[in-house]
Copies of this chain bind each other. A is one copy, B any other.
């Protein structure tokens, strides 16, 4: 009410909102202290590039989390998309092609097919959740198991059986592995894709009716219904958008690694959900922001990359990673510890 109070509130709100950024900075500082040569352009580019496809999947998952849902099938959909797009983008002269007679397709065709497949499955998730009232956890758990079966059937086919789908065409690997040369550095296109997707999602969340409805559904579904929000339709759209993002992620993963198997994407959903929560998305819905999600993913990737870079022994890596996740969120949660 009075300006002094609101100014104070702004400052404290700023601090509260920025705990996760502080965590990120502290992490980087910590690693740099342990190994000063961590501070290099190459490492920065590597971390950003590795975060890129994770940001895309995390943004999809985040939308669903904001509606108070969850998506355990995200990782398996990434796998499905990876396998589909890789199978259609093998180099013409590759000896072990899945479709030996497939002509050389323009890049966007397999990508769109993969995205359509995952979009459709995700829409089905949305229908199951919103029309049949199956809790999202169960709906997407069932879908996670089912999609894995589907992917495996597609993947494990004669003549070559369960072999990684490799021999990807050069235009595909260029699309996912190369970048823009700036001086002696190459900024991967991947980063660019993540930025574009982030902007689009930011606009949807903040500037469109769909975005407002998404927050409303997560914040109070009953109130949303009374306020005239078509909850089912909006949920289905939000799940579908997530599915499209998984499809894109899957394609990029196949291209980035140069091959795909039915296990590609396994457990990505857990990382994505965790990154969202670390980034301030509330699992009970209604709260979350695009910069938060991006920061969450970066925190995870800095941990992953940093520990490998430091050469920490694998077992210790697990322990340290587990600890950092808990401590970071505990730190962040102090804002909710009701100031009594």
Chain A interface residues (CB < 8 Å from chain B)? 72, 128, 132-135, 137-139, 141-150, 152-153, 156, 270, 273-274, 277-278, 283, 314-326, 329-330, 333-334, 336-337
Contact = CB atoms under 8 A, between A and B. Distances in A.
Contact of A329 (B134, B320, B325): B134
Given A142-B325, A143-B322, A316 B134 contact: no
Given A138-B325, A283-B135, A333-B134, A149 B319 contact: yes
Contacts of A277: 135, 137-138
Nearest to A141: B274
Given A139-B326, A330-B132, A337-B133, A315 B156 contact: yes
A292 to B, nearest CB: 14
A138 B275 CA distance: 10
Contacts of A145: 318-319, 321-322, 325
Given A138-B278, A145-B319, 16 more contacts: A128-B326, A128-B330, A132-B330, A133-B336, A134-B326, A134-B329, A137-B273, A138-B277, A139-B326, A141-B270, A141-B274, A142-B323, A142-B326, A149-B315, A153-B316, A153-B319
A128 B72 CA distance: 24
A133 B331 CA distance: 9
A150 B319 contact: yes
A153 B330 contact: no
A138 B329 contact: yes
Contact of A325 (B141, B273, B326, B336): B141
A27 to B, nearest CB: 15
A300 to B, nearest CB: 11
A132 B333 contact: yes
A278 B72 CA distance: 16
Contact of A318 (B72, B148, B314): B148
Contacts of A146: 318-319, 321-323
A302 to B, nearest CB: 16
A322 B325 CA distance: 31
A149 B318 contact: yes
Contact of A316 (B72, B132, B149): B149
A322 B134 contact: no
B330 A134 contact: yes
Nearest to A318: B149
A326 B125 CA distance: 10
Contact of A315 (B133, B152, B273, B274): B152
A137 B329 CA distance: 11
Contacts of A141: 270, 274, 322, 325
B322 A153 contact: no
A330 B270 contact: no
A38 to B, nearest CB: 22
